[in-house]
Every structure is written in structure tokens, then in C-alpha cells.
């Protein structure tokens, strides 16, 4: 079932489970924050995206290559946590040396590091912040700057760079995994959920319409593009390029957790209808009607194999080129 969305204090913001509940345990009112979030969601306010890129973060060589990629071989400035703007082809060497990542890697190879049978921990976390086309790129950068200052200042070293070479303006944030006090940053699902909400809040403070809800709550089917299909498309397989799908990729099936997905979709719809009733009771009838219409438009759940290859490609499930580093 979908987890409740929470604010920075860990309090539920969009608690669809309680909205769907009838009887003694049902919620009897909505907070102002909940009403505002509901309004943004049903009005399809642009959703923020925060992704952690997992590859190339565990070795000094890989991190150096990533930083060099971020500043396009010296063409773009990289902004540090100290407000510096580093430029040129030696940025990667300069930044990694300043963060003492060479010492971190050397320590791991010593007796203090993990055993040979263990995967080495990440030296850095590579985080991608993105907004839909049309969002002012400088506002995206400023929001990430403010976000990073609140989350990591005086704890974890970090650097960022804005990319505008794609329709989606996006910022790459590189955060040193080990803090200056020796504490390791661990990123979990709840962490990403909280970061999305904070990124959206910073954008709204800058006058940019932004929202942060889960796909399940919005009733969206946006399955990730399967690796095999993605690689086939990259190789130029005509079955993908011409919009034709293989029988195996297109054939629906109802296994591997599909029952949970259908139950989740049913609960989401019930939750929205319950929220609409609470809105009616509080005198917000116009918003309640919008919520009812929103809930009625939520389609039946579909899982990944319900989509043909051409539909996946047409829907842009693969995302921007930056996300392909995760493949």
C-alpha cells in the first residue's frame, strides 16, 4: 500500500488511508497543508523529480570521471558548498583533493576498510534534481542551492552544476558520503520522499509552481523502461525504432505483485473520494468536486508488462539522457 506522504516533521500530509477509512477511525478534518497539497495535486501542478544515480560513485576514478562529465570537460562552472565557482579541466582533481577522497579510498584498501568480499561503500552520492520543460533553469539551481545548504551545510561537502542541454532543466548535486565528523550519509526511500517535498517547497518559495506526490497517489502508471528494451532501443533495433513490440514485451500478465498494485489503486481512489467528502463538510465544495472528478479519472492499474514497447517509448518512460546513467 502507498506510504503516507509526510512533511519535514514526519507528519502525514496526504494520508489517503485515513481518508478512505469509514466509521470510528476516520479522519474528521483536513489541515491547511493537506488542503494545499490536494489542490496542487488535482490541478496537476508540475511534479519535482529527485533521483539518486547509483553507478560510478565507489571509486576515485569513477567519481573523477563523473565530475569531469558534469562540467563538460571544463566548459561549465561547478559551484561548491563554500560558494566557489570552479572552472577548467582540472576541476575534478581539485575538488576530489579538497574533499580528501583519495584518503578515503586509501583507508578502504587498508585493514580498516571492508573485507575483499564486500562491495566498497560509496565515496559520494550523485543526486539529480529535475523539473519539466519551461521551468526557469536559474530558479531550479537556486532551489537546489537552498536545499543543499539546509540539508548538508557544515556536515557533508557538496558541489553542484546546472545543465540546460535538455528540455528538462536539471541540477546535478554531488555530496560527499562521509561527513566531516565521520558520519556516513545513508539515503533511503523515506529520505528521497522528504527531499522531494523540500525541493518542491524551495521552488514554491521562489515563485515556481511545484508539487511532490507519489505516482500511486496521482493514479499514474509510469513504469520504468525495462533494461532489455532500453538497450535494444539504444542499439537501433528496428522493432523499437519502428514502434513495434515483441510479443513477450507486450503481453500482459498478472503476477509478481500485481494484486498489490490493483489493491493499491482501489485504496487510492477510495481515499480521494473520502478526501472529497471531508472537503464538502468543511465548506470547500468547489475543491471537493475537483477531487471527485480527479478520482473518477484515475484509470485501472496497469503493471509494466501491460505496456507495449512503442507505448513505453512514446510515453517517455526512459526519461532524460541523464537518467540513463542508472541503467
* CATH number of the CATH domain containing 175: 3.30.930.30
The predicted structure's pLDDT at residue 74: 85
Residues 39 and 53 in one domain: no
Name residue 130's beta-bridge partners: 49, 170
The predicted structure's pLDDT at residue 140: 98
Tens digit of each residue's pLDDT, the chain (327 residues): 444 544 445 444 577 766 666 555 566 788 898 899 999 999 999 999 999 998 878 889 999 999 999 998 888 999 999 999 998 888 988 998 899 888 877 776 664 555 555 677 889 999 999 999 999 999 999 999 999 999 999 899 999 999 999 999 999 999 999 998 889 999 998 899 999 999 999 999 999 999 998 888 888 765 544 444 434 444 444 444 344 344 344 434 444 556 777 777 888 888 899 899 999 999 999 999 999 999 999 887 665 554 444 444 444 433 434 434 433
Residues 110 and 185 in one domain: yes
The separation between the first and the last C-alpha atoms of the chain, rounded to the nearest angstrom, is 27
Q: Is residue 115 domain-resident?
A: yes
Residues 196 and 80 in one domain: yes
Q: Which of 205, 239, 260 is where one domain is finished?
A: 205
Residues 53 and 200 in one domain: yes
**DSSP code for 92:** H
Which candidate, 163, 171, 166, places its Cα nearest to that of 143? 171
Residues 76 and 193 in one domain: yes
pTM (2 decimals)? 0.76
Contact yes or no for 199/131 (Cβ under 8 A): no
Residues 87 and 119 in one domain: yes
Cell of 65: 570521471
Contact yes or no for 41/14 (Cβ under 8 A): yes
Residues 200 and 296 in one domain: no
Residues 165 and 249 in one domain: no
Cell of 17: 488511508
What is the span of the domain harbouring residue 53? 49-205
The predicted structure's pLDDT at residue 55: 83
Residues 69 and 127 in one domain: yes
Residues 57 and 40 in one domain: no
Residues 153 and 25 in one domain: no
Q: Is residue 212 domain-resident?
A: no
Query: What's the total number of domains in the chain?
Result: 2
Sign of the CA dihedral with 49 first, then 54, 58, and 62 last: negative
Q: Is residue 221 domain-resident?
A: no
Residues 36 and 61 in one domain: no
Amino acid at each position: 500500500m502507498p506510504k503516507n506522504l509526510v512533511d519535514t516533521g514526519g507528519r502525514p500530509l496526504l494520508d489517503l488511508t485515513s481518508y478512505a477509512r469509514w466509521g470510528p477511525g476516520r479522519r474528521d478534518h483536513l489541515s491547511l497543508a493537506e488542503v494545499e497539497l490536494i489542490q496542487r495535486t488535482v490541478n496537476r501542478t508540475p511534479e519535482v523529480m529527485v533521483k539518486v544515480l547509483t553507478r560510478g560513485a565507489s571509486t576515485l576514478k569513477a567519481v573523477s570521471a563523473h565530475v569531469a562529465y558534469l562540467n563538460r570537460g571544463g566548459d561549465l562552472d561547478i559551484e561548491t558548498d563554500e560558494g566557489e565557482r570552479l572552472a577548467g579541466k582540472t576541476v575534478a582533481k581539485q575538488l576530489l583533493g579538497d574533499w580528501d577522497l583519495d584518503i578515503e579510498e586509501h583507508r578502504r584498501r587498508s585493514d580498516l576498510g571492508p573485507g575483499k568480499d564486500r562491495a566498497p561503500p560509496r565515496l559520494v552520492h550523485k543526486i539529480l534534481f529535475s523539473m519539466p520543460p519551461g521551468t526557469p533553469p536559474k530558479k531550479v539551481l537556486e532551489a537546489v542551492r537552498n536545499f543543499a545548504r539546509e540539508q548538508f551545510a557544515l556536515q557533508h561537502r557538496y558541489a553542484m552544476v546546472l545543465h540546460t542541454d535538455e528540455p528538462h532543466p536539471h541540477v546535478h548535486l554531488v555530496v560527499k558520503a562521509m561527513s566531516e565528523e565521520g558520519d556516513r550519509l545513508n539515503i533511503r526511500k523515506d529520505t528521497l520522499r522528504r527531499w522531494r517535498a523540500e525541493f518542491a517547497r524551495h521552488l514554491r518559495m521562489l515563485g515556481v509552481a511545484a508539487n511532490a506526490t507519489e505516482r500511486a497517489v496521482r493514479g499514474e502508471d509510469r513504469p520504468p523502461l525495462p533494461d532489455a528494451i532500453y538497450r535494444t532501443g539504444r542499439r537501433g533495433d528496428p522493432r523499437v525504432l519502428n514502434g513495434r513490440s515483441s510479443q513477450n514485451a507486450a503481453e500482459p500478465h498478472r503476477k509478481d505483485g500485481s494484486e498489490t498494485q490493483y489493491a493499491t489503486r482501489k485504496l487510492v481512489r477510495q481515499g480521494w473520494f473520502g478526501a472529497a467528502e471531508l472537503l464538502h463538510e468543511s465548506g470547500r465544495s468547489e475543491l471537493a468536486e475537483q477531487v471527485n472528478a480527479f478520482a473518477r479519472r484515475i484509470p485501472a492499474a496497469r503493471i509494466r508488462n501491460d505496456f507495449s514497447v512503442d507505448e513505453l517509448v512514446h510515453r517517455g518512460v526512459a526519461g532524460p539522457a541523464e537518467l540513463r546513467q542508472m541503467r
